[in-house]
């Protein structure tokens, strides 16, 4: 990746040293400025990728430079150097949008690693933008979004089976897109101009489901004041989607089996059989084989339904779909809420990528909807999408009750919060590898290991 870096420091020696470190090991173009008051002009002239600035300088400090960069070149990354490496200044700088801080004196690897990470971060942002553009292009023609191997295989399978008449059983956890897949099958089939009707087997009371499905004749039960057509008749020549098929009772299972096998059924109270030409798609989030063992589901019906099985994996097993889905939902909720949010910032995106999403794609959609509503700028930030977890995101330093505690106790709390946050951060950077994390943090491996144990942090979650 090409890149242009600006270094600002009032000490000439520091500029010379940093230029040498960066140009020795990278191909980035480096510019330096000793007078912070001239930075504004430079920012107007050139687009920089990374700006490394000293914190304490006469005339103008690093925080003011940071504010200026955010205004003039919001996509540039700012790294603060400070000889006064207290937690407070570091937190203040990163809270205001600095990417990282480096304490002086530093080792040259520290500078190079930080620049590397910054460039990586920028690359991710650019990929997000490219993804968003590709969605705009495809949006109309492709309602099932996803670029993972799993999703593209599912799309292929849907296209292959759509034109057949065989029954399709769609399985998958709640919110994985079973209904969407059923619709895609219908609208890609030769039946697309005929009805697509959904019936949810859970939602329907047991006594009513038979008459809803098959209809009834007048007088067949109290309240049956006239003949009624059933859903099966409505769906004739089209597709009937039986959702939550695992909830259907045994009596209805037998009647459904007959319909599937013979294409015949009888309305409630009727004497004559009727015929129907229906394509069945059924869905379940339960394990039907288990239900068979428990004698709650007919084995013969299962085999009749499971001619073609499409399994939709949970979102946590196809994380590559998350960015493209997130931008897809962002566009949707932009137009619903009359907003013009164009980006999801990399920190927010990596939080989306690391969640386990028990509610799958539905939960992701809800999360982006909340983000779109709460977002006050053109970029969704982590605070817009994830509720504040007090231990994770707020520092005890900013909680004034800490100052009412005895000094030792207060210090213990702040120290613990800092350890926890620092360790998680460094482990995340190094994908849970303790040796590498220790090297980057310039700590003894054993010491870091002890801190990890003290904080009860599971390194597996960063892999």
The single residue among 174, 309, 354, 461 that binds ligand ATP, judged by CB under 6 A, is: 174
**CA 298 vs CA 19, 53, 75, 132, 252: distances in Å:** 74, 71, 59, 46, 11
Nearest C-alpha neighbor of 367 from the set 378, 376, 353, 79: 353
The single residue among 176, 211, 239, 430 that binds ligand ATP, judged by CB under 6 A, is: 176
Please identify the residue of the shown chain whose CB is closest to the bound Mg ion: 179
Cis-peptide, bond into residue 359, ω within 30° of zero: no
69 contacts ligand ATP (rule: CB under 6 A):
no
CA-based angle 109:112:114, to the nearest 5? 110
The least CB distance from residue 132 to ligand ATP, in Å, is 15
SS3 88: helix
Question: What character string, x for contact with ligand ATP (CB under 6 A) and - otherwise, covers 335-374?
Answer: --------------------------xx--x---------
d(CA 450, CA 125): 35
CB nearer ligand ATP, residue 285 or residue 383: 285
Say if CB 53 and CB 65 are below 8 A apart.
yes
Query: For residue 304, how far is the Cα from the chain centroid?
Result: 36
CB nearer Mg ion, residue 305 or residue 434: 305
Question: What number of chain residues touch Mg ion (CB under 5 A)?
Answer: 1
d(CA 189, CA 312): 20
DSSP code, position 20: H
147 contacts ligand ATP (rule: CB under 6 A):
no
Q: Which does 85 bind (CB under 5 to 8 A by kind): Mg ion, ligand ATP, none?
A: none
180 contacts ligand ATP (rule: CB under 6 A):
yes
The least CB distance from residue 286 to ligand ATP, in Å, is 10
171 contacts ligand ATP (rule: CB under 6 A):
no
The least CB distance from residue 196 to ligand ATP, in Å, is 13
The single residue among 31, 179, 212, 439 that binds Mg ion, judged by CB under 5 A, is: 179
d(CA 15, CA 355): 41
d(CA 62, CA 310): 56
d(CA 435, CA 441): 10
The single residue among 8, 36, 93, 175 that binds ligand ATP, judged by CB under 6 A, is: 175
Q: Write out the two tokens for 321.
A: 């779909």
CB nearer ligand ATP, residue 247 or residue 384: 247
61 contacts Mg ion (rule: CB under 5 A):
no
Which positions touch Mg ion (CB under 5 A)?
A: 179
Residues that bind ligand ATP (CB under 6 A): 144-146, 172, 174-180, 285, 325, 328, 361-362, 365
């Amino acid at each position: 990746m090409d890149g242009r870096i600006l270094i600002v420091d009032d000490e000439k020696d520091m500029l010379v040293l940093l230029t040498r470190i960066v140009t020795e090991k990278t191909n980035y173009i480096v510019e330096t400025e000793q007078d912070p008051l001239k930075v504004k002009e430079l920012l107007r002239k050139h687009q920089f990728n990374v700006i490394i600035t000293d914190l304490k300088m006469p005339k103008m400090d690093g925080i003011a430079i940071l504010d200026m960069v955010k205004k003039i070149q919001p996509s540039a990354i700012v790294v603060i150097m400070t000889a006064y490496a207290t937690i407070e200044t570091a937190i203040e700088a990163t809270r205001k949008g600095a990417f990282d801080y480096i304490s002086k004196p530093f080792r040259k690897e520290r500078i190079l690693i930080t620049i590397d990470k910054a460039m990586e971060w920028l690359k991710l942002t650019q990929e997000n933008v490219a993804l968003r553009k590709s969605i705009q292009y495809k949006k109309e023609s492709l309602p099932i979004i996803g670029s993972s191997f799993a999703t593209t295989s599912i799309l292929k399978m849907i296209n292959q089976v759509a034109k057949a008449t065989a029954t399709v059983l769609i399985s998958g956890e709640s919110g994985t897109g079973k209904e969407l897949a059923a619709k895609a099958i219908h609208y890609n089939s030769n039946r697309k101009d005929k009805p697509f009707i959904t019936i949810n087997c859970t939602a329907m009371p047991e006594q009513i489901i038979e008459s809803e499905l098959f209809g009834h004749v007048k007088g067949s039960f109290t309240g049956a004041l006239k003949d009624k057509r059933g859903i099966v008749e409505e769906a004739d020549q089209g597709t009937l989607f039986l959702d939550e098929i695992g909830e259907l009772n045994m009596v209805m299972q037998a009647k459904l089996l007959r319909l599937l096998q013979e294409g015949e059924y009888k309305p409630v109270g009727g004497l004559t059989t009727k015929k129907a030409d229906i394509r069945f798609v059924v869905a379940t989030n339960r394990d039907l084989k288990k239900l068979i063992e428990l004698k709650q589901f007919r084995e013969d019906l299962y085999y009749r339904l499971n001619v073609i099985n499409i399994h939709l994996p949970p979102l946590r097993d196809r994380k590559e779909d998350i960015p493209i889905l997130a931008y897809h939902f962002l566009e949707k909720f932009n137009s619903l809420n009359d907003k013009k949010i164009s980006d999801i910032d990399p920190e927010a995106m990596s939080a989306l990528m690391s969640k386990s999403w028990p509610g799958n794609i539905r939960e992701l959609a809800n999360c982006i909807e909340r983000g779109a509503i709460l977002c006050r700028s053109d970029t969704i930030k982590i605070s817009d999408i994830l509720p504040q977890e007090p231990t994770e995101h707020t520092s005890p330093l900013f909680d004034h009750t800490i100052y009412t505690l005895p000094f030792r106790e207060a210090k213990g709390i702040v120290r613990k919060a800092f350890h926890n946050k620092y360790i998680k951060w460094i482990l995340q950077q190094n994908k849970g590898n303790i040796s590498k994390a220790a090297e980057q943090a310039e700590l003894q491996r054993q010491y870091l290991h002890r801190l990890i144990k003290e904080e009860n942090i599971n390194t597996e979650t960063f892999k």
